[in-house]
Amino acid sequence: MFISLQELEVRKVEFSQRLAPGILELGTELRQSGALQAKGRAELLEEHRGGKNVVEDIRVVGDFSTEIEIRCARCLDPVLTPVGGSFDLLYRPLGADAGRDERSISEAETEIGYYSGDGIELQDVLREQILLALPARAICREECRGICPGCGRNLNLEACACGEAPRDPRWAALADLKDKLK
């Protein structure tokens, strides 16, 4: 759904979207496995900067929920992760702040995104929010044993015959110190 400036100049735009899995491009490591539900509104905010200088900011407020399949950080098996949240975003025209001298910005100004053209694409907003809401690491279960560093076998499914992993030579000095302290 494209949110255009022309439409926002007339009225606020309410949206309620249901996007089937596979509609959003999330990269090669992630897969949307559940429908994306999103609802909210977009409105135009005019910022008067003196004289006839008016900047048209787009404010998008809403919430979303979906399920994303990501890889377990230990064994690389798929993990179904519910993702959701609410957002209150401000988008300013690209170049509206250009030409200003170097200055410090407020914390609120760090939250401003920029758009080019005649509006913003809602799917781009939702993609960004999904990526920001994902956990840094996902684990399939607490007792996950991971992958053997020697042979690459999934230790949750089968045992390996590698034995003890070879010692990293960078830690040799500390290993010697540990042996001396025993």
- Do the domain assignments include residue 37? yes
Cβ-Cβ contacts under 8 Å for 81 (sequence gap 6 or more): 67, 68, 69, 70, 134, 135, 138
- Do the domain assignments include residue 139? no
State the total domains in the chain: 2
- Do the domain assignments include residue 140? no
- Do the domain assignments include residue 124? yes
- Do the domain assignments include residue 114? yes
Say if residue 57 is in the same domain as residue 35: yes
pLDDT at 126: 92
DSSP string, 11-28: S-EEEEEEE-TTSS---S
Say if residue 125 is in the same domain as residue 173: no
Structure tokens at 181: 């302290």
pLDDT at 26: 86
From the list 67, 1, 2, the residue with the least C-alpha distance to 37 is 67
From the list 3, 128, 126, the residue with the least C-alpha distance to 56 is 3
Say if residue 128 is in the same domain as residue 174: no
Say if residue 78 is in the same domain as residue 111: yes
Taking the chain (182 residues) in consecutive chunks of 10 residues, what is each chunk's mean pLDDT? Answer: 81 90 86 91 79 79 93 92 91 69 61 81 90 91 88 87 74 82 80
pLDDT at 66: 93
Instruction: State the DSSP code for 173.
Output: H
Domain holding 36, by residue range, is 2-133
Say if residue 104 is in the same domain as residue 23: yes
Say if residue 163 is in the same domain as residue 129: no
Task: Indicate the pTM of the whole model.
Answer: 0.74
Q: Are the CB atoms for 68 and 130 separated by under 8 Å? A: yes
Say if residue 15 is in the same domain as residue 69: yes
Say if residue 161 is in the same domain as residue 126: no
